[in-house]
Amino acid sequence: MAGTFSLRIVSPEGNVLKEEVEFVVLPGGAGELGILPNHAPLIAGLDIGVVRYTLNGNVKRLALAGGFVEVADNSATVLADTAELSEEIDLPRALEAKERAMKRLSASSSETDIKRAEYALRRAVARINASEGSK
């Protein structure tokens, strides 16, 4: 297929996605990374955020909670801490997780693990954005 490359996303739970895509945007540690066919070799750390990829002219989304990407030989492989396709996200549950994290942060005490609450908030927001952006 001209104008495509292989995108594979793997998490500890197993394969999340394996498709021939036209374009992918990944949440990098220093900003978004755009990958097109025949991209130069690359290894980069990934942050919490939304992955957008173009498949047959349609933009699809998934929520990513960090990991790494390797690009080589017209293929991009993402090793994700967690990854969830937009159609598999339980939006009410993600909204509840966001509210819980916000309450923990606003009512912080000496017992509140701030970093953990911030991580939970960022992950919930990514899940919400991936889910809502696909509709």
- Domains parsed from the chain with CATH numbers: 5-86 (2.60.15.10), 90-133 (1.20.5.440)
Q: Say yes or no to pLDDT of 95 above 50.
A: yes
User: Residue 108: pLDDT above 70?
Assistant: no
For tokens 């919930």, the residue is 124
Q: How confident is the model at residue 59 (pLDDT cuts 50, 70, 90)?
A: very high
Residue 20 has a pLDDT of 96
What value does the mean pLDDT take over residues 96-122?
84
The amino acid present at 61, given as its one-letter code, is: R
Burial (CB count <10 Å: 0-12, 13-18, 19+), residue 103: exposed
User: Which H/E stretch holds residue 99?
Assistant: helix 91-106
Return the CA Rg of the chain. Answer: 16
Residue 56 main-chain phi, psi, to 5 deg: 55, 40
pLDDT score, position 41: 97
Does residue 112 register a pLDDT over 80? no
Q: Which stretch of DSSP H or E encloses residue 121?
A: helix 114-133
What pLDDT sits at residue 40?
A: 96
Please say if the pLDDT value at position 94 is more than 90.
yes
Question: Beta strand pairing status for 75-80 and 31-35?
Answer: unpaired
Examine the pLDDT at 58 and tell me if it is beyond 80: yes
pLDDT category at 42 given cuts 50, 70, 90 is: very high
The more confidently predicted of residues 108 and 75 is 75
